[in-house]
Structure 1
Amino acid sequence: MGKEIEIELKNLVSKKDFYHIAGAFGMQEEDFTLQENFYFDTPDFALRSLKSALRVRKKAGGFQLTLKTPEHVGLLETNQLIGEEDFQHMITGSTFPEGEVYEKLAVLGVPAENLEYFGTLATKRAETGFKGGILVFDHNFYLNKEDFELEYEVSSLETGTKHFITLLDQYGIPYHPAKSKVLRFYETKLKEQ
């Protein structure tokens, strides 16, 4: 699957604003699909301390292993398709699949055998094109919490930020850059301990 740079702008919104703007873009209930993210880290949060994250995304019957690591602008995503058996081995902590993600973890100095399954974040997601990027509507569920988020995936941070802030202003939504889903997940997880 390879590697790609991800530049996303994120904004948490109220449930009311979420459904208002989603409706304004013509999003219907059937436009939302469910995806599940399963997060992994070491017991001492080694990946989190490196501002990195490891997840398996279950979507459309398949499994995609993704390691996100920081870049100068955005995040580098190292992606790898894995089978259900590999996924189950990761959940139980028995083995980790070989490949690009395993190799990148070694470079980071995080042994794959130290990783543990931390929990699941489910997202009902709809997407639409918007001014050269992708506007994403995410309703997230994790660790007995839920939140509503707008994401704007872009190729230029500067141009994307202008378009995103203009859009939010148009709908009277304050711009408060949101933390990533995995950071919100980890902060909630740490409060539980």
Structure 2
Amino acid sequence: MPQEIEIEFKNLLTEAEFKKLYHALEMESAPVIQQVNHYFETKDFQLKQQGAALRIREKNGRFQSTLKQPQGDGLLETHDDLTEEQAKAWLQGQITLGPDISKQLKEMDISAAELNYGGSLETIRREKSYNDTTIVLDKSIYGDTVDYELELEASSYKHGENVFQTLLDAHGIGKRKTPNKIQRFYDSLQNR
């Protein structure tokens, strides 16, 4: 089953902080990655209630569905590849789950018939290796909202936490409570 544990640290940034880190980390040398996340949830937010999220990520002409579930210090990510036709069908309400996500949702007692398309969030991303981690700067656009985010992905929680805090401290950036992208997306819908 295509699964992985993701250990990541996130911090929302102001536009000025984003630009400061962009230049300090020489992110202009990193390739631009454009991706669109399409989000799915039940009408009564059953996934959210279990700390989970379901999306299709569209990147470089490829489509992949991902279910994220909390596990230990990170998130368990379960992936199923989709064709472009399958992804378009999902967006039109014809959701056919791949075998791996279907199994995980069944364990959560959620059926595909209960899922609805919520909308999309576009991200312009740059990432590079940094002190045995991967550092990511994201500019995300959804609805009328543009936000900026620092992410750091690590193979161990302790190392990642140390590198992340050191980076924030070195650039005078305060640590902020940072909901994940899907939460920010759904929160923006409620504020409209």
Q: Report the equivalent of 2:17.
A: 17
Counting aligned pairs with the same residue, the percent is 37
Q: 1:78-129 CA distances to partner (integer Å, 9 max, x unpaired)? A: 0111101111111111231331011211111111111110010110000011
1:55, distance to aligned residue in structure 2 (A)? 0.2
Q: Report the equivalent of 2:38.
A: 38
Identify unmatched segments of 5+ residues in structure 2.
none
Q: Report the equivalent of 1:189.
A: 189
1:45, distance to aligned residue in structure 2 (A)? 0.9
Aligned length: 192
Contact persistence 1:135–1:153 (CA under 8 A): yes
User: What CA distance in whole angstroms lies between the structure 2 residues aligned with 1:51 and 1:190?
Assistant: 19
Matched AA of 1:82:
L
Matched AA of 1:85:
E
Contact persistence 2:38–2:121 (CA under 8 A): yes
Mean CA deviation greater in 145-154 or 26-35: 26-35
The residue correspondences of 1:39-78 to structure 2 (distance < 5 A) are 39-78=39-78
TM-score by length of 2: 0.95
Q: 1:144-184 CA distances to partner (integer Å, 9 max, x unpaired)? A: 10100000001111221111111111111111241111111
Q: Report the equivalent of 2:137.
A: 137
SS of 1:100's partner is helix
Q: Report the equivalent of 2:152.
A: 152
Identify unmatched segments of 5+ residues in structure 1.
none
Provide the aligned C-alpha RMSD in A.
1.4
1:86 equivalenced with 2:54 (yes/no): no
Mean CA deviation greater in 52-61 or 93-102: 93-102
Q: Report the equivalent of 1:166.
A: 166
User: What CA distance in whole angstroms lies between the structure 1 residues aligned with 2:29 and 2:133?
Assistant: 22
User: What CA distance in whole angstroms lies between the structure 2 residues aligned with 1:177 and 1:23?
Assistant: 24
Contact persistence 2:30–2:128 (CA under 8 A): no
1:191, distance to aligned residue in structure 2 (A)? 2.9
User: What CA distance in whole angstroms lies between the structure 1 residues aligned with 2:130 and 2:76?
Assistant: 23
TM-score by length of 1: 0.95
